[in-house]
Chain A
Amino acid sequence: MLINLAPGSPIEQKLQAIRFGAGAAGGGGGASSVGGRGDTAVNEEVIEALKKQYGFDKPMHVRYVIWLKNISRLDFGESFTYQEPVIDVIKSKLPVSLTFGLFTLFITYMVCIPLGVRKAIKAGEGFDKATTLLLNFTYAIPPLILGIALIYFAGRTNWFPLGGLQSDDYESMSSWGRFLDRAHHMILPLICYTIGGFTELSTLMRNSMLDIIKSDFVRTARAKGLAEKVVVYKHALRNALIPIATGLGGFLGVFLAGSLIIEQMFNLDGMGLLGYQSVLARDYNVIMGITFISAMLMMVGRILSDVIYVLIDPRIDFK
């Protein structure tokens, strides 16, 4: 409902295309006059035809009820911009963001958990200080600047592709060749995606681990004569993971949203770009479809977190 209140609507997007030429829809400043008849504002007949075309001839609350009925069958309607069902538009973009999201998640957790543990064990030592410094530096790098730098780097060295998901001759490659090609194309964007994410998670892991190490049951475990490795990885780590698990579910929704900047820079056709372009074009059906799916994924993510809680700490249950 709220998005209907923003100025502009798909009808106005189409009217602009007529008045200003097709290039102005998302832009600002420059515009061009129509090359056609050169008459005045688009006449009422055309406006009414456009309204009917998009279903805007019905009041907002009726449209909402229709929308609810439709989404119960996973029918989000048709994209005004793509002339395609919304579910198909999202389906074509989701794999891109999903792939990067999952890899980012995997890399981030696989690096940060061991790093956090090690930082906790060596708290206050040189390793801890050096890595903290490094992580704060990477945290401060904007993805935009890093992206530009990486593109110039790739342009000069020829070690990495400049963007896109795959090479042009992808279809003619062997399975292994395709895998390598995709992986090669993903490296630079993944660096941009992951660079800022290490800091928070590592710090959280480190602090969580420190708290656990100082607790009574760890002291008891040591008193029993258990090896340090067993104390750290069998007893302490498991408990320290509880706060880490809290955020895991949320990542699911966040990474699936993609990143507009990284997608635009590396020419990836994912959800971030789709969301942005849909908002600019006032493509309501796509916006609502994305919002709905994101909300669902967020909920699934939370449930997943709860399940992980139980696995980590059997004392927790949700009876």
Chain B
Amino acid sequence: MNMKALLLLILSSALTAPAFATAPNASAPQGGNFVINLGGEPPTVHPITSTDTYASAVQAYVCEGLLTRDSDTYEWKARLAEKWEVSKDNKVFTFHLNKNAVFHDGKPVTAEDVKFSFDAIFNPTYEAAHLRPYYEGLAKVEIVDPHTVKFYAKDSYFKNFESAAGLTIIPKHIYSDVAKSKRMNRELVCSGPYKMMKFDRGQMIQLKKFDKWHSNAAPAYKGTYNFDTITMRFFKDENATLVRAEKGELDYIDLRIESFMKKTTGPAWGKVIIKHKVANDAPKSFGFVGWNQRKELFQDKNVRFALAHLLNRDEMNKKFRYGMSDLANGAVYIRSEYNPGNKVVEYNPKKAQELLTKSGWADADKNGVLEKTVNGKKMEFKFSLIYANKDVEKYWTMYREDLKKAGIDMELKYLEWNSFLKLVDDGNFDAVTMGWGGGSVDPDPKQIWHSSSAIPGGSNFIAYKNPEVDKLIEDARVEPNKAKRVAMLKKVYAKIAEDAPYAFLFNDKYEFYANSSRMGMPAETFKYEVGKDYWWVKP
């Protein structure tokens, strides 16, 4: 092999190296300002009483928990706790606090603050009822010494450790005065890598690097949090946001697929601002049509499969999603290790017809609508589909026409979100369409699929009930070994797909975003997130 061929081989090998297994740049230049758009102004940034995403985005930089996840491996990394132990029965978690950790006002972080942060959630005066479900698996926090705490779990549920590790630690000396701290809706004191400098109503929030952050010199955080300051804007209008990005006023913006495809032309793109389309393993949402199992019409599996076979997802993907989505094959992200590899239900009107005929549906009176005799009573194939997002109406208009050809009469009903949710919570609908977010990398399907969630206000609003699935879910929840849990949940997701309680729609294949050309970054994406915490301002 001559040298040129060898060189080409080396280059091509480098170019085809795996997209992941990337790492922060330990020599990243420090300094500069990072400007992002929150999309709206947080009404309050109080660490306990706030409930919106805008406040969460601020708290992600200013506050922190005991541990955090690595962006590539998803393993736990030290944060406020430098060491931790888990008991064999998975019910006692011991955390050893970093002795260098201080809050932004200079006071040390102690075990007292950890205990306070946990107890506050269950104290009625803090009005933290909205947080309790996340922590109800934990019984108490015990102080061992000023820098050691023990969390006691009520059971062996595998996510209990995650709850404990992710608990936001807030300073007792500031937030224990309830009446006073509740007024702090524009001030936030925590121990995170950035501290809040100012919150100008209607204008922006500015954060500044906290020079006494406990892990500034830690090897695990080299190349992380490289900016001196972070500015957060409150631009609400998408067009205005894009114009600002084109002027270089924003260093990072999320893009919708429509914006990515249609609004990223113009001289600024590729120069002032650079767009990205990235695939990673962060769990993506899936849309669905849920069939209400309380309705006799949808209790027949053949009917549910027939309805799924009449859904022309390939055409929808092509026309409305620029071919950028995967067809979902079940209730878990298609790239997830928990996905059992179910066969995708393809568009097949002929097969749908066979299934319907097998179940006794026919158009005996030739009026264009299938009917069937049940207990001596004629039943026509008619139902309504409720939705709360006008943007998706085009999908359902298409579907309605395809159903009509098969003799099925579907009525479309658009409802305002609160009215929609009322019907969903009461189980008072035929079919419903919306989406579920990707959830956790390590999912727990109980909320959506367990029969105990089939109650008013529960997330199993279609009343799906499968005793085998229930058992597997219950067993998986207390299985500490991840490999075994993966195997159990694969069975769960396989059985759910077999039952077809939803017609699963799409998983997004990509995330879309743009960054200003001032930004340096170690990679377009990490395995589980884009990783803008590792970005820097180019010199």
Are A and B co-members of a single complex?
A: yes
* A interface list, Cβ under 8 A from B: 6-8, 12, 14-23, 25-43, 46, 49-50, 52-53, 79, 81-84, 92, 96, 148, 151-152, 154-155, 162-166, 168, 264-269, 273, 280, 282
The complex places the Cα of A79 from the Cα of B133 at a distance, in Å, of 24
Top 7 A-B pairs ranked by shortest CB distance? A32-B437, A29-B389, A8-B418, A36-B134, A269-B202, A38-B444, A28-B388
The smallest beta-carbon distance between A158 and chain B, in angstroms, is 8
If A29-B392, A168-B204 touch, whether A269 touches B41 (CB-CB below 8 Å) is: yes
B436: which A residues are within 8 A, CB to CB? 31-33
The complex places the Cα of A42 from the Cα of B457 at a distance, in Å, of 8
The smallest beta-carbon distance between A182 and chain B, in angstroms, is 13
A152: which B residues are within 8 A, CB to CB? 239, 243
Choose from A50, A82, A266, A267 the contact partner of B129 (Cβ within 8 Å).
Answer: A50
Choose from A46, A92, A155 the contact partner of B132 (Cβ within 8 Å).
Answer: A46
- The reply to whether the CB of B368 lies closer than 8 angstroms to some CB of chain A is no
B443: which A residues are within 8 A, CB to CB? 38
Within 8 A of A (CB), among B422-443: 422, 434-440, 443
If A25-B51, A40-B458, A163-B235 touch, whether A33 touches B439 (CB-CB below 8 Å) is: yes
Within 8 A of A (CB), among B188-234: 201-204, 234
The complex places the Cα of A86 from the Cα of B50 at a distance, in Å, of 17
Report the stretch among B13-21, B351-359, B400-408, B445-453 that lies at the interface.
Answer: B445-453
Q: List 5 A-B contacts (CB under 8 A).
A: A22-B51, A28-B434, A37-B135, A37-B163, A268-B202
The complex places the Cα of A194 from the Cα of B452 at a distance, in Å, of 57
If A40-B447, A40-B458, A41-B456 touch, whether A151 touches B239 (CB-CB below 8 Å) is: yes
- The reply to whether the CB of B264 lies closer than 8 angstroms to some CB of chain A is no
Choose from A26, A40, A52, A155 the contact partner of B450 (Cβ within 8 Å).
Answer: A40
Q: Does A21 lie within 8 Å of B437, measured CB to CB? A: yes
Q: Does B43 lie within 8 Å of A83, measured CB to CB? A: yes
The smallest beta-carbon distance between A86 and chain B, in angstroms, is 12
Nearest A residue (CB) for B387: A29
Nearest A residue (CB) for B423: A7
B49: which A residues are within 8 A, CB to CB? 83
Nearest B residue (CB) for A267: B235
The smallest beta-carbon distance between B151 and chain A, in angstroms, is 14
Q: Does B202 lie within 8 Å of A165, measured CB to CB? A: yes
B501-513 toward A: CB 8 Å interface, digit per residue (1/0)? 0000000000000
- The reply to whether the CB of B460 lies closer than 8 angstroms to some CB of chain A is yes
Q: Does B51 lie within 8 Å of A40, measured CB to CB? A: no
Seed contacts A22-B51, A83-B46; 15 additional CB < 8 Å A-B pairs: A6-B418, A21-B53, A28-B420, A31-B436, A33-B436, A36-B135, A37-B444, A40-B450, A81-B44, A83-B43, A83-B185, A162-B247, A164-B203, A168-B204, A267-B240
The complex places the Cα of A15 from the Cα of B421 at a distance, in Å, of 11
- The reply to whether the CB of B159 lies closer than 8 angstroms to some CB of chain A is yes
- The reply to whether the CB of B344 lies closer than 8 angstroms to some CB of chain A is no
Q: Does B130 lie within 8 Å of A92, measured CB to CB? A: no
- The reply to whether the CB of B90 lies closer than 8 angstroms to some CB of chain A is no
Residue among A22, A33, A269 facing the most chain B CB atoms (10 A cut-off) = A33
Q: Does A30 lie within 8 Å of B439, measured CB to CB? A: no
Nearest B residue (CB) for A51: B129
B44: which A residues are within 8 A, CB to CB? 81-84
Q: Does B439 lie within 8 Å of A35, measured CB to CB? A: yes
The complex places the Cα of A28 from the Cα of B415 at a distance, in Å, of 9
The complex places the Cα of A164 from the Cα of B455 at a distance, in Å, of 46
Q: Does B51 lie within 8 Å of A96, measured CB to CB? A: no
Nearest A residue (CB) for B127: A53
Q: Does A17 lie within 8 Å of B235, measured CB to CB? A: no
A280: which B residues are within 8 A, CB to CB? 417
A96: which B residues are within 8 A, CB to CB? 202
Q: Does B157 lie within 8 Å of A162, measured CB to CB? A: no
A43: which B residues are within 8 A, CB to CB? 133
The smallest beta-carbon distance between A30 and chain B, in angstroms, is 5
Q: Does A38 lie within 8 Å of B446, measured CB to CB? A: yes
B55: which A residues are within 8 A, CB to CB? 22
Choose from A12, A23, A92 the contact partner of B53 (Cβ within 8 Å).
Answer: A23
The smallest beta-carbon distance between B38 and chain A, in angstroms, is 12
The complex places the Cα of A36 from the Cα of B447 at a distance, in Å, of 10
A26: which B residues are within 8 A, CB to CB? 417
Q: Does B435 lie within 8 Å of A265, measured CB to CB? A: no
- The reply to whether the CB of B56 lies closer than 8 angstroms to some CB of chain A is yes
The smallest beta-carbon distance between B421 and chain A, in angstroms, is 7
Choose from B133, B418, B438 the contact partner of A32 (Cβ within 8 Å).
Answer: B438
The complex places the Cα of A16 from the Cα of B157 at a distance, in Å, of 24
Q: Does B244 lie within 8 Å of A162, measured CB to CB? A: yes
Nearest B residue (CB) for A17: B51
If A267-B240, A268-B202 touch, whether A37 touches B136 (CB-CB below 8 Å) is: yes
The smallest beta-carbon distance between A238 and chain B, in angstroms, is 42
Choose from B52, B135, B434 the contact partner of A25 (Cβ within 8 Å).
Answer: B52
B89: which A residues are within 8 A, CB to CB? none
- The reply to whether the CB of B465 lies closer than 8 angstroms to some CB of chain A is no
- The reply to whether the CB of B236 lies closer than 8 angstroms to some CB of chain A is yes
Q: Does A17 lie within 8 Å of B387, measured CB to CB? A: no
The smallest beta-carbon distance between A252 and chain B, in angstroms, is 23
Within 8 A of A (CB), among B279-294: 285, 287
Nearest A residue (CB) for B267: A156
The complex places the Cα of A318 from the Cα of B237 at a distance, in Å, of 49
Choose from B124, B388, B455, B456 the contact partner of A49 (Cβ within 8 Å).
Answer: B124
Q: Does A46 lie within 8 Å of B243, measured CB to CB? A: no
The complex places the Cα of A53 from the Cα of B125 at a distance, in Å, of 9
Nearest A residue (CB) for B456: A41
The complex places the Cα of A32 from the Cα of B44 at a distance, in Å, of 22
Nearest A residue (CB) for B433: A29
Nearest B residue (CB) for A21: B437
The complex places the Cα of A53 from the Cα of B41 at a distance, in Å, of 24
Nearest B residue (CB) for A81: B43
